[in-house]
Amino acid sequence: MPRASYKLVILCSFIATLGVWCHLTPDASIASPAKDSHVTATVQINASDFTVGDHIRLLLTVRHPEGVSIELPRVTQNISPFEILEVGPVHDSKENNQVVVEAEYKITSFSTGELALPPLKVRYTEPSGVTGEIESSRLPITISSVLDPNGSEQAVKDVKSPISISKDPVQYQQLAQIGAGALALVLVLSVVIRGWPRITRAPTNTVLDISPEEKARRDLERIEALHLGNGRANYVEYYSSIAECIRSYLAEKYGAWTLGCTTKELKEKMEASGIEPWQARVVYGLLDECDSVRWARYSPVMARAERAITLAYEIVGAD
């Protein structure tokens, strides 16, 4: 065989051997499939039965290997018919070579019946850069109405009736009536003794002629027109005005004992004075939501803001 042909055969054999070797050897630049990262998520609540509008404490527990980073659900995540009000403290710990992350959430719902909390989504990123997402299991939760369980028409109307307190613990109204009577007697005696001319026509539309319910209703109409009329509400001012209106209404109608106390203390005093517990919860739920917006930077959706003014109308007995 000629020397040139012999060299050609050797070159072809070398090229073929190199091609087979490259085909069998994996490319080191391509990452191998990621192993199971064993990321799990579970949810727990302290009870299963709640009343509409209650703040529900939810505990989310995520377990993952070291080196894996996670992204917890945010306030904006859609979990209808529930909604996330705020994210509480987050605690990290280690257990069996895994990182345990516990996050507290405050959720609520204005729907009633046998509901189910949708899965909470948790995103994670492995050290290799591979990303994924896991979901917690659905959680059954029962939400009860604040109305009469008999569901009669009269019970529904009672929600909009003015809140009544059977006994005023400080009796400021009685003292005010006695003082007003004494003042009226002094004025009558002055007219008789000094011969003051009679008033032939009583003034109309005075402030004294306006009931606490009517005054509160007018304030709520002003708040609604000012903050919700243009669709761009300043929620801090809006909820602050609602809280001030409701507290002023309670103080004017039932006495100054409703002032100078926290929302929780007000609820306890209302229940101790004889008011129905569900009525006190309606007031507490609204004022507590106002506090969340004013102090906890909670930003509700427009539908929730409109619901707040509706509850305020129901408290003062507006039709």
Predicted pLDDT of residue 219:
92
Q: What is the pLDDT of residue 34?
A: 34
What are the Cα distances from residue 307, in Å, to 166, 239, 273, 286, 311? 28, 12, 27, 10, 6
What is the pLDDT at residue 25? Answer: 39
pLDDT of residue 59: 92
CA atoms within 13 A on the CB side of 250: 25
Per-residue pLDDT at 199: 52
- Are the CB atoms for 245 and 286 separated by under 8 Å? no
Q: Which pLDDT belongs to residue 318? A: 45
Q: Where in the chain is the domain with CATH 2.60.40.740?
A: 40-144
Residue in 270, 265, 263 with CA at minimum distance from that of residue 295: 263
The reported pLDDT for the residue numbered 147 is 67
- With a cut of 50, which residues of the chain have pLDDT below it? 17-36, 152-159, 203, 205-207, 318-319
pTM above 0.85, yes or no: no
Q: What is the pLDDT of residues 148-169, one digit of tens each?
A: 566 544 444 444 556 565 555 5
Query: Reduced to 3 DSSP states, what percent helix, strand and coil does the chain have, rounded to the nearest 5?
Result: 45, 20, 35
- The CATH code that applies to domain 40-144 is 2.60.40.740
Instruction: Write the single-letter amino acid at 240.
Output: S
